[in-house]
């Protein structure tokens, strides 16, 4: 892959002035051959395989970052969903594996490792149940381990027994880390239609259709898109779409180039390029501010969903023109705690929980990094998960929930998580209960859209 002089100069401008960065290089590693009936052997194999394949990941990424002048913010690992190799291991042994993953990440200097996961959209095996039971403690005793659970797909419907269980798991995880404002929940995602090559945390895992090892790249450029739009204040919406599309093309080109360099030096295949407009708390690095630049007085007002749909579509069009290997989630993230514009929208009462839920119909993922009062019942959290899964199932798209019931906190409180996770205002949820609906259990059948053969 070659890059022209003009592209290079444009990239330098985007890095220096517009917050362009490679958000993550994520090495996917298959752990299938680590399974063993002898738990000690399996645990050691997991550690050895991860530390062997990824031993040069951090160093190589830093060398490329320095050489080309494009920041690579996170170095991460995704692994085979642990439930798939857990076998007859106990809950205590599953927690021990989580500690092993954490130790491997620390040894390698990796920011996060994702894949303490289970895929239970149609049913649960004994190993799945064991892993899910182990999630609250595992995330509370580790720093860098991330977990995810798939509870629904368009093809299978929604496993409401798993949905009910995940509400309870999230509540327990929050309580176990109450001195950190429920921080364990920030490392846990509940999915509908998850993808196997997502490089972004907390939902990354190395899917069963993936190879032995691969390098996936995630680029983020809200600041670049925002600055591009600022240069066209009088453009109509068709022209706005064109500006975003062309900008996304440039971002994708830069990201794939860096990803391929890192992969080549590591001697592993390049996987996919995930172009997701993932915001940070940095000034002007906000998805909400892009929507406001289009003409919304404040994100959350009428027109927000239309503006988000336009942006998401233009990002995808630009990305797919720039690369034949666009994958992952690729679009726009709307995490509340990581986006200053979203936070401002909530504080100003322009952006409600219901509006966020509606926005997930057209964004890349779903309800992300949302703080709610600590006394919200587990069944209400389960119902929120069910609603979001239904949006994904019917629309044949990935949706997810990363929600934090903050112990001891109430609507209007501002919670500090620190670092990339930022801060979040505690948002109100509907006070009417959903307990009877959730306790019915069973499975919501797959929709008619699933019958595509």
> pLDDT tens, 241-285?
999 999 989 888 888 899 999 999 999 999 999 888 887 777 778
Alpha helices, H only, 77-125: 91-108
φ/ψ (deg, to 5) at 158: -120, 125
Give yes or no for a contact between 347 and 353, defined as CB atoms under 8 angstroms apart: no
Token pair of 161 as six digits: 């027994």
The whole-angstrom separation of Cα 428 and Cα 430 is 7
Pairing mode, strands 270-277 and 213-220: parallel
Is the torsion defined by CA of 147, 153, 158, 161 positive or negative? negative
Residue 338's pLDDT is what?
A: 85
pLDDT at 219: 86
CA atoms within 13 A on the CB side of 139: 32
Residue ranges, the chain, pLDDT below 50:
5, 16-18
Are the C-beta atoms of 289 and 226 separated by less than 8 Å? yes
Return all residues near 156 (Cβ < 8 A) that are at least 6 apart.
Answer: 121, 122, 446, 450
Q: Whole-model pTM?
A: 0.92
Direct distance between the N- and C-terminal alpha carbons of the chain, in angstroms, rounded to an integer: 37
Residue 431, class by beta-carbon neighbours within 10 Å (0-12 exposed, 13-18 middle, 19+ buried)?
exposed
Q: Check if the beta carbon of residue 256 is closer than 8 Å to that of residue 323.
A: yes
Residue ranges of the alpha helices (H) in 22-74? 39-53, 57-68
pLDDT value at residue 210: 92
In this prediction, residue 11 carries a pLDDT of 53
Q: Which helix (H) or strand (E) covers residue 416, if one does?
A: strand 414-416
């Amino acid at each position: 892959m070659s890059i022209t002089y003009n592209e290079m100069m444009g990239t330098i401008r985007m890095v220096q002035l517009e917050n362009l960065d490679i958000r993550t290089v994520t090495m996917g590693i298959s752990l299938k051959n680590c399974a063993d009936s002898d738990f000690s052997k399996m645990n050691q194999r997991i550690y050895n395989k991860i530390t062997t394949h990824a031993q040069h990941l951090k160093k190589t990424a830093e060398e490329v970052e320095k050489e080309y002048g494009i920041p690579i913010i996170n170095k991460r690992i995704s692994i085979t969903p642990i439930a798939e190799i857990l076998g007859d291991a106990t809950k205590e042994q599953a927690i021990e594996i989580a500690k092993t993953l954490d130790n491997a990440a620390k040894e390698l200097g990796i920011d996060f490792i994702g894949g303490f996961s289970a895929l239970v959209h149609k049913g649960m095996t004994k190993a799945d149940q064991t892993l899910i039971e182990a999630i609250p403690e595992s995330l509370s005793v580790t720093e860098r381990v991330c977990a995810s659970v798939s509870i629904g797909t368009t093809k299978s419907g929604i496993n409401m027994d798993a949905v009910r269980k995940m509400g309870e798991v999230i509540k327990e995880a929050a309580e176990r880390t109450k001195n950190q404002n429920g921080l364990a929940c920030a490392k846990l995602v509940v999915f509908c239609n998850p993808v196997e090559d997502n490089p972004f945390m907390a939902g990354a895992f190395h899917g069963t259709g993936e190879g032995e090892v691969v390098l996936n790249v995630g680029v983020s450029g809200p600041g670049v898109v925002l600055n591009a739009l600022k240069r066209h204040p009088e453009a109509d919406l068709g022209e706005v779409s064109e500006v975003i599309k062309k900008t996304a093309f440039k971002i994708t080109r830069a990201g794939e180039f860096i990803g391929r360099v890192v992969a080549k030096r590591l001697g592993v295949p390049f996987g996919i390029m995930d172009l997701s407009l993932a915001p940070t708390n940095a000034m002007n690095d906000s998805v909400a501010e892009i929507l406001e630049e289009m003409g919304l007085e404040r994100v959350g007002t009428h027109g927000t969903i239309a503006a988000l749909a336009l942006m998401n579509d233009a990002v995808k069009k630009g990305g797919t023109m720039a690369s034949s290997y666009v994958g992952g989630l690729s679009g726009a993230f709307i995490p509340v705690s990581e986006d200053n514009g979203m936070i401002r929208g909530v504080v100003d009462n322009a952006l409600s929980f219901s509006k966020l839920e509606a926005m997930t119909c057209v964004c890349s993922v779903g309800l992300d990094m949302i703080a709610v009062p600590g006394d919200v019942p587990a069944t209400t959290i389960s119902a929120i998960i069910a609603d979001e899964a239904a949006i994904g199932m019917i629309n044949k798209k990935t949706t997810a929930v990363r929600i934090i019931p903050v112990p001891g906190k109430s609507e209007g409180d501002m919670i500090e998580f620190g670092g990339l996770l930022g801060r979040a205002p505690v948002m109100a949820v509907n006070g009417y209960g959903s307990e009877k609906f959730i306790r019915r259990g069973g499975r919501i059948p797959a929709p008619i859209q699933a019958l595509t053969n």
